[in-house]
Amino acid sequence: MKNLLSIAVVLIAVFAVATCSFAKKTEATCAKTVAVNEGRSPVILFFDDMESGTNGWTSFDNTATTTPKFHLDTYYAYERTYSWWCGELNAAFSGGDGYANGWDMRLDIPPTDVSGATYPILTYALRYDSEPGYDYTYVQAESLGVFRNLNRGYNGTSGGWQDLGAYGFAIGNYDNPFVGRFRFISDGAWSDADGLYDTDGGAFHIDNVKLFDFYGGMTYFLDDGEGGGLCVPSVPASAGDWWHIIDRACPAYSAPHSWWCGDDADTGLIPPNLSNALYSPVINTVGVSICTMRMMLHAEVPTVDNDYWTEEVTTDGGSNWQLTGAWWGDFGQCDGWGTSGINGTDLSQYLPGNSFQFRLTFFTTDNGCGPGAAGGAGITLDDFWVEDWTGTAVEETTWGKLKALYR
């Protein structure tokens, strides 16, 4: 099991209900105290209770600029010259190749009429290497216009190329014309991009995609990757930017305003297929070496649907973003806001630097969550501040004393 707390020191002060948030891919850690100075307060580099408009915060829909990663390549090709590869050669990746976090990539098989087949089969050759238990490639077919999984998802490593030959998936019970695809999905951490999972040419290779009649032998479709290929790379449609400031005393911490990534028309359902990023203003950190970031964050995010959010920081103007946490789960298990708390992140390991910026990105899958009793499915961010402790000794105190300093 991953331990994302090894990436950053994460301290959570909990009040109201004694439950913890769920750290993604690791057991949650509850802390009753946070590190502050009992006698002297730190220098506050930035504070925003979200009561003064956007105040330099910006948001962005990452799905609006997503480009397909499936492409024909000679890299690790199976036969002859080309194979389809969901991955890229990237000098910034561990090993210089592989895949990144937060991908949702598809390779579509064009609609194919197989009505003359007695026993139609989909078969192919494949090669894969992706994080075991978290990053999957699904083989899917349409049934009544809805894509269904034919496999449980390829993950881990195949150990090289595998050819299904004549023994693939029976597709006679799916829509005709047949519509199928290969879909790779990676989560928010552990990939070649962050260096936490170094693949061997990941994430997924495919070749010799074939639709044929098992008994009659008739071939209805064949893509061997040569001559430009017949399959079509694609990405999900733009999901929109759902981050906005709301005016609701509940669930705001310092009422009434807060940032919320959610749907005003249906506050009990998280919008699907999101990759929505919220950026803090750029904060001057010249001369700062001991620094802590804190925030009030509520989450109503389903634990069963692989929706999650990531927290990242940059100290070089955005050229490089460092992951400080990847999380999933609910405060209240989709039935309200049961827990609130301070999420404190030690930024010292990322300094020195002349500036600092924070990014919170919310990822959702095909399904939402709801209804939420509190009417706020999604993520709510309220009071946010950055502390400079460079010239101040640090001691441990209680949440009540911390609250008295700032409220």
Q: For residue 151, give the DSSP letter.
A: S
- How distant is the alpha carbon of residue 252 from its chain centre? 24
Tens of pLDDT, residue by residue over 363-374, are 988 765 554 445
**Domains of the chain, earliest start first:** 4-63+239-406 (2.60.120.200), 67-234 (2.60.120.200)
What is the pLDDT averaged over residues 269-281?
92
Banded pLDDT at 62 (limits 50, 70, 90): very high
According to the model, what pLDDT value does residue 304 have?
Answer: 64
Residue type for position 235: V
Residue 219 phi, psi (nearest 5): -95, 125
353 or 85: which leads in pLDDT: 85
According to the model, what pLDDT value does residue 369 have?
Answer: 55
Specify whether the CB–CB gap between 221 and 110 falls below 8 A.
yes
Q: What percent of the chain shows pLDDT beyond 70?
A: 79
- pLDDT higher than threshold 70 for residue 315: yes
- pLDDT higher than threshold 90 for residue 25: no
According to the model, what pLDDT value does residue 345 have?
Answer: 84
Instruction: Name the most confidently modeled range: 177-186, 316-325, 334-343.
Output: 177-186
Helix/strand/coil for 45: strand
- pLDDT higher than threshold 90 for residue 151: yes
What is the pLDDT averaged over residues 226-250?
92
Helix/strand/coil for 95: helix
- pLDDT higher than threshold 60 for residue 20: no
Banded pLDDT at 253 (limits 50, 70, 90): confident
H/E stretch holding 243 reads strand 243-247
Residue 379, burial from CB neighbour count under 10 angstroms (0-12, 13-18, 19+): buried
- How distant is the alpha carbon of residue 95 from its chain centre? 22
Tens of pLDDT, residue by residue over 45-58, are 999 999 999 999 99
Torsion sign, CA atoms 66, 68, 74, 77: positive
According to the model, what pLDDT value does residue 370 have?
Answer: 52
- pLDDT higher than threshold 80 for residue 155: yes
What is the pLDDT averaged over residues 304-320?
85
Q: How far apart are CA 294 and CA 19, in angstroms?
A: 19
Count of beta carbons in the 10 Å neighbourhood of residue 226: 15
According to the model, what pLDDT value does residue 376 have?
Answer: 72
19 or 178: which leads in pLDDT: 178
- pLDDT higher than threshold 90 for residue 233: yes
Banded pLDDT at 144 (limits 50, 70, 90): very high
Specify whether the CB–CB gap between 146 and 60 falls below 8 A.
no
Q: What percent of the chain shows pLDDT beyond 90?
A: 54
Banded pLDDT at 15 (limits 50, 70, 90): very low
Q: For residue 391, give the DSSP letter.
A: T
Specify whether the CB–CB gap between 13 and 34 falls below 8 A.
yes
- Two tokens, residue 330: 């609910």
DSSP string covering 101-123, please?
Answer: TT-EEEEEEEEE--TT-SSEEEE
H/E stretch holding 397 reads strand 395-398
Q: How far apart are CA 96 and CA 400, in angstroms?
A: 48
Give the position of tokens 């399959």.
231
Specify whether the CB–CB gap between 162 and 137 falls below 8 A.
no
Q: How far apart are CA 84 and CA 184, in angstroms?
A: 13
Looking at every residue in the chain, the average pLDDT score rounds to 81
- pLDDT higher than threshold 60 for residue 353: yes
H/E stretch holding 127 reads strand 120-130
